[in-house]
Amino acid sequence: MNIFIDSQALSWFKQEVEIQSGEFVRFFVRYGGSSPLHDSFSLGLTKEEPIEVGAKQEYDGVTFFVEQKDLWFFDGHDLHVHYNEKLDEPEYTYVKPE
């Protein structure tokens, strides 16, 4: 699994989550909401250090990651994070690599 963050989403994280180089953003599975992959589960985020990394990617010194225990949620898909201007928040898409 790979994590892709576009430049506008990265700017949003820096401003809204107040992340800086050397810090970590975790994407985690939460019960509630829905996603294209699983009904009743959605993706959340928090600023915290990893315990057991399942996937990670660094952008501008910031490490975005998913813990090993949450990889099931992605069902073999990559996570693409884009900025949604209308909602002023990140938007997640899940892409199955070919």
Q: What is the pLDDT of residue 41?
A: 77
CATH number assigned to the domain comprising residue 16? 2.60.300.12
Residues spanned by the domain of 20: 3-95
Tokens of 14: 């820096």
Q: What is the pLDDT of residue 39?
A: 66
Q: Which residues pair with 54 in a beta bridge?
A: none
Could you tell me the pLDDT band of residue 65, with boundaries at 50, 70 and 90? very high
Q: What percent of the chain has pLDDT over 90?
A: 78
| Lowest mean pLDDT, pick from 17-31, 34-48, 50-64 | 34-48
- Tell me the mean pLDDT in the region 78-89: 95
Which region holds residue 55: left if phi is over 0, alpha if psi is between -120 and 50, else beta?
beta
- Whether residue 19 contacts residue 47, with contact meaning beta carbons closer than 8 Å, is answered with yes
DSSP 61: T
Domain count for the chain? 1
Those residues whose C-beta lies under 8 Å from the C-beta of residue 39, and which sit 6 or more positions away, are: none
Q: What is the spatial distance between Cα 80 and Cα 66, in angstroms, rounded to a whole number? A: 13
Q: Distance between the two ends of the chain, CA-based, in angstroms?
A: 12
